[in-house]
Amino acid sequence: MGRLVMKFGGTSVANIDRIRNVARHVKREVDAGHDVAVVVSAMAGKTNELVDWCGDASPLHDAREYDAVVASGEQVTSGLLAIVLQGMGIQARSWQGWQIPIKTSDAHASARILEIDGSEITARFKDRQEVAVIAGFQGINPQTNRITTLGRGGSDTSAVAIAAAIRADRCDIYTDVDGVYTTDPRAVPKARRLDKIAFEDMLELASQGAKVLQVRSVELGMVHNMPVFVRSSFDKPEDIDPHGTPPGTLICSEEEIMESHVVTGIAFSKDEAQISVRQIEDKPGVAAAIFGPLAEANINVDMIVQNVSEDGKTTDLTFTVPASDYTRARDTITSAKAKIGYARLDTATDVAKVSVIGSGMRSHAGVAAQAFTALALRNINIRAITTSEIKFSVLIDAAYTELAVRTLHTLYGLDQT
């Protein structure tokens, strides 16, 4: 017997038939003797609809009321799944974030979890063998007693945090894919599913464009050393042995992976924009004059490259921002032109970032150099480069994204054999 958290995303609970399929997955684990808490997202498309309703009601709406509206999608799903489970003869009840409670900060629409009291849920495991069906994505701010939401993908974060709070043995994230792949299989048909991946590698993949898990959920898993299993909700529940190793990808500590490759995977993002600030006077405080206003505007800056002119008097500074923030970032820099003192602003939105990730890079030299050579042979120009201990990223023209990813995927031996 063990204790599991099972999380199901929007496509897994998109209608009543799929909710019944989720219930059969839950029943399989209950019948195997496990204590089970289930975390659910809103039905596919429902959160977008609720967001649109808020915008239609008022373009400048109260963020607190926005959270009250968008949190209702998960409330519906949790109630429906509890009803279906009860109809199957399983003890179950739904829980909203405020009922547990999941205490969060007061940053509405992007709150962070502060504390979870899982004592009532675990008591009901013991006393009633009751399945807890929990609305993901939401919590409550203890100072204001207002409902809060955790941002897009927040149900993943809810699930891992609850798993830590109730001391679960594992957190299973059921989704519409059957695990974590070396890259997006739609871009590279030869991509293969990983049996295991270290938290650090998964964190980099998620932050660099892989959309399997929300970044904060991976961070929580790493902090609490909570194993997270990514698996498909569309596998037939009756075909899975609840006592065996399920099909999917285990995200765990690096120590649990016997043999790790130099490169684990390749992520890419076309949601990038490049801004180059030309001929700035090379003096202290110039970088602060550029990035200070961007920070105040809550614009995340990613890649930063600085070039100094031959005479050492001026410098060019290039950086990237999310494409959704491009217009605001450009206007912010333009507004600060007098303070920055630049000669010209060059921008591009037809760019993509390709990132090569692997904790094995720590002990291997020349990994990035191999990539630069391979891309050059394909006549792919690199606009900017950033590196870290277990990752390097290149900025290229968006038209060459798939070619670059396929080239690097083959280069590092990640193709299926």
In the annotated binding site for ATP, the residues are 7-10, 175-176, 181, 186, 211-212
> In 3-state terms, what secondary structure has residue 119?
helix
CA 339 to chain centre: 36
CA distance 264 to 364: 13
Which tokens hold the place of 405? 């990813």
Point out the annotated binding site.
7-10, 47, 74, 175-176, 181, 186, 211-212
Q: What is the CA radius of gyration of the chain?
A: 23
**Torsion angle, CA of 159/160/166/169, rounded to 10 degrees?**
110
- Tell me if 340 sits within 8 A of 333, measured CB to CB: yes
- Tell me if 351 sits within 8 A of 272, measured CB to CB: yes
DSSP string, 187-200: T-TT--B-SEEEHH
**Number of neighbours of residue 288 by Cβ within 10 angstroms:** 11
> In 3-state terms, what secondary structure has residue 360?
helix
CA distance 294 to 80: 44
Point out the annotated binding site for substrate.
47, 74
Q: Is 283 exposed, middle or buried (0-12, 13-18, 19+ CB in 10 A)?
A: exposed
Q: Is 197 exposed, middle or buried (0-12, 13-18, 19+ CB in 10 A)?
A: buried
Cis geometry, peptide bond prior to residue 101 (ω within 30 degrees of 0): yes
CA distance 3 to 387: 39
CA distance 398 to 384: 13
Which tokens hold the place of 247? 């099909």
**Number of neighbours of residue 53 by Cβ within 10 angstroms:** 13
What secondary structure, in 3-state letters, does 294-311 show? HHHCCCCCCCEEEEECCC
CA distance 225 to 240: 26
